[in-house]
Amino acid sequence: MIQSVGVGIVGAGAIVQTGYNPAFKRVGIQPFAVRKNPNERPPLQKLFQGSNQSDIIIVASPPSAHRPNLCTLAEYIKFIHGLTGINEYNPSIFCEKPLCTRIEDIERIKNLRKIHNIYAIDHWTVRSPLFYLALKGKEYVQEHFPNYGKIYLNSIQESGSLESIKDCNLSDIESIEGFLLEKSTADTQTGEPLALNFATGQPDPRTFRYPDGVILDTATHPLALIREILTGMGSEESKLEIKIEDMRDKYGKPIQSNDWSTAEGSAKLTLSISGIPIRIDVNKYAGEQNRKGIIINFKDGSSLSLSRINNEDILELRDQQAKQLGKMEIQSPLYDILVRHSIRPPSPRSSSLGNYKGLTSRRIEEISTLLQAINLERTGIQ
C-alpha cells in the first residue's frame, strides 16, 4: 500500500468512476476529486490547498476541456511558486487522450511542457509489453517494464509456443491492422443508434458533436499502441502522414465537406511507419461486433494478434494457414497498471521504452497529424 502520495482528479465521468478511482483505492490511495457533479465547473484551485495538495493530477475531463484545464493548472502552480518563492513544487500532471482537440493548441501544450511535468496517458499503451512478451521474452519485460511486468507475469496462461517470432525485427513485418469496433444498440422507440459506454456497457444517450468523434476519441488508442510496439522494435520515425480513407456519421452516411458539427461514428485510416503499411478501422456503432486489438502480419505469412475481451488480453500466433501455434491469456486490469506506473514511474533509461517524456512526445505528434488529416478531410482539400 502507498499512503504518502496525494492524488487529484479532474473529471467525473465513467472513466473516473469505474477506472481511476477504484484502481487508486486498490493501492491504498483516496483520490481527491475536484469535479463531483458533471455540471459543475471544476474548482481546480482545491487541488493545491492544504491537505489536498496533489503530487499527481489526473486530467480526465471532456477532451475539449483538456487544454484549458492544463493551462489553468499551470497558472496555479506558477502562483504557488510566486507565493512561496520556492520552485520545488511541480506535480506530475497526467492528461487523458487527446491532449487537445484543436491544431492551434499544439504549440501551447509544447510550451507548457517546457516548464511543467505534463504527460499524456492512454490505457491502450500499457498493453505494449504484452507484445514484448512474445517478441522479446519475459526477461526483457521484467527489465524494461518493471511495474507492468509484476502484474502481467503473474497471470499468464500459455499454450503452444510463440518461440518462432522471438527476436523478429521491423523488416520481418508485412503490415499491421488496428481495430476498435464497439458494440452498439438502438433506441427501442425511435430506432436511433446508441453507442454503449465502454466503462459501464450501458447505452450512452449523449449527442456527440465534433470533435468528440471516433478519430480523436477512438483511433488514438490503436495508433498509440502500434506506435509504442514499433518504437520498442527500433523504429525512430517521428514524421507521420495519416490519410482518412473513410469517415461516416453514426447512421453510416459520409460526412460532407465543411461539416464541422457532425461527429464521426466510424472511420478508416491509413498510414506508414518505418515503411510498414498500417490500417486502422474504428466504429462506435458496430452493432453486435465487439473487436478491440491489433494484428501484426509477418512476411512469412504468419500473424500475431492481440484481442481484448473483458479484463483479459489474448495474444495469438497463427501460421500461414491461420492455424494457432501459440497463445497467451493474460489478466490485465489496465487502470491498475496505469495507476501503479504513475505512482512509481521508471527511471528514464531510453527515449523509447517506459519514458513518459518520449511517450508524450509521440502522443503529441500523433494528435497533431490526426488534426491535420481531419482538417484536410472536412474542408474537402485533397
Calpha distance 97→284 (Å, rounded): 17
Can you say whether the dihedral through the CA atoms of 229, 230, 231, 233 is positive or negative?
positive
Calpha distance 325→303 (Å, rounded): 10
User: b vs e for 67-99, b when ≥16 Cβ sit within 10 Å of the residue's Cβ?
Assistant: bebbeebbeebeebeeeeeeeeeebbbbbbbbb
Residue 370 pLDDT > 70, yes or no? yes
Instruction: Give tens-digit pLDDT for 26-55.
Output: 888 888 877 655 555 557 877 877 766 788
- What integer best gives the mean pLDDT of the chain? 85
Residue 145 pLDDT > 80, yes or no? no
Instruction: Give tens-digit pLDDT for 221-244.
Output: 999 999 999 988 889 887 899 999
Average pLDDT rounded to a whole number, residues 199-206: 82
Site of grid cell 502520495:
5
The fraction of the chain above a pLDDT of 70, given in percent, is 88
Domain positions in the chain are: 7-121, 126-379
Average pLDDT rounded to a whole number, residues 159-178: 88
Average pLDDT rounded to a whole number, residues 191-199: 86
Calpha distance 208→204 (Å, rounded): 10
Instruction: Give tens-digit pLDDT for 65-104.
Output: 999 999 999 988 888 766 555 567 788 899 999 999 999 9
The helix (run of H) or strand (run of E) holding residue 306 is strand 303-309
Coil, strand, or helix at residue 317? Answer: strand
Instruction: Give me the pLDDT at residue 39, please.
Output: 55
Instruction: Give tens-digit pLDDT for 254-312.
Output: 999 899 999 999 999 999 999 999 999 999 999 999 999 999 999 999 999 999 887 88
> Topology of domain 7-121, per CATH?
Rossmann fold (3.40.50)
Coil, strand, or helix at residue 256? Answer: coil
> Topology of domain 126-379, per CATH?
Dihydrodipicolinate Reductase; domain 2 (3.30.360)
Residue 323 burial (CB count, 10 A): 10
Average pLDDT rounded to a whole number, residues 319-346: 81
Q: Which residue has the higher pLDDT, 323 or 162?
A: 323
Beta bridge partners of 304: 296, 317
